[in-house]
Amino acid sequence: MRSMFMQMVVQHMRNRRYAKRTIELYCRWIVSYIRFNKNTHPAEMGDKEVELFLSYLVNTKDVAPATQASALNALAFLYRDVLESPLSLDLNFVASRRQAKLPVVLTQDEVASLLTQIPAHLKLPVSLLYGSGLRLMEAVRLRVKDIDFDYNAIRIWDGKGGKHRVVTLACELKPGLTRQISLVESYLAADLNNPKYSGVYLPHRLRVKYPNAPKELGWQYLFPSARLSVDPENKQIRRHHIDESSIQKAIRNTAKACHIKKKVTPHTLRHSFATHLLQAGADIRTVQTQLGHADVKTTQIYTHVLQQGAQGVVSPLSRVLK
């Protein structure tokens, strides 16, 4: 059970239409910060305690720069929007400078093996992770209307950083997507006969703009849960998307069954998509656009992968053994 203070923080974020994931993440960091300071109320603390906490994350926990930035964002929100006492813009803490790891990339044969053995009911979303370079949450949050069969494209709305983009759709997935949409249609028909059904979840601004959308086919999740659930925001009955953890577990177990020795996660398929596009001669700017990277420097990490070994430096041993 959350404390009264944390319940107030959650409600504050809900009132400002923060995403469910953001609320959960910010709450974890705020609770960690409070516990680090021996359960002192945040209103009794400020810049000094935040600096010590952020430095602790690096010095003791060795977190990555993105993780430390996430903690800072949560605490900045807490002090600015909830406590109305903004943190200083000149916080003095130890910044994480941990070297970014090169992404793990599968070979095309490994991808083929994984897709062949993945559980049938998850093959389509997993195929989209690789075939369109989607992030895991982008895949599970797809709506029926986001699939553009005419232009072989998928529209991603509010991706990382709130950005929209259009990505490629493999023609080979069209039959499976057509069947999946038929399944969604059958779920919707059954749900509409349920007097307690309130329609699919929509962000507040869309709910207001399109009042009928929650019960229209186009707005339904492409990969719906098999069960109805209660919306924690307003206690209404809805059909949510499948849980992302089922995909994570399936990929992990299937990779093991395929005897792939690399650490394979859903994001590995996105890394593989980018690397294989570059291997096939795609322009790095095109790959940047497909991935939704704001800076091409982020995309260039995949060129480093390609420059390893035979595609970069030729080992002198190869010449000796000729």
Q: Domains along the chain?
A: 4-82 (1.10.150.130), 101-307 (1.10.443.10)
Residue 237: pLDDT over 60: yes
Residue 310: pLDDT over 60: no
Residue 23: pLDDT over 80: yes
Indicate which residue of 143, 241, 270, 271 is catalytic. Answer: 270
Is residue 302 annotated as a catalytic residue, yes or no? yes
Dihedral pair phi/psi, residue 133, rounded to 5°: 65, 35
Return the structure tokens found at 34.
């409070």
Indicate which residue of 123, 135, 145, 240 is catalytic. Answer: 135
pLDDT of residue 81: 94
Indicate which residue of 143, 239, 241, 293 is catalytic. Answer: 293
Is residue 160 annotated as a catalytic residue, yes or no? yes
pTM given for the model: 0.82
Question: Rounded distance, CA 154 to CA 128, Å?
Answer: 10
Residue 46: pLDDT over 90: yes
Is residue 293 annotated as a catalytic residue, yes or no? yes
Confidence of residue 34 (pLDDT cuts 50, 70, 90): very high
Indicate which residue of 12, 160, 165, 252 is catalytic. Answer: 160
Q: HSE of 137 in the Cβ direction (CA atoms, 13 Å)?
A: 9
Residues of the chain with pLDDT > 90, as a percent, come to 72
Is residue 135 annotated as a catalytic residue, yes or no? yes
178-197 pLDDT, tens digit each: 999 999 999 999 999 999 99
DSSP letter string, 165-219: EEEE--GGGHHHHHHHHHHHHHHHHHHHT-TTB--S---HHHHHH-TTGGGSGGG
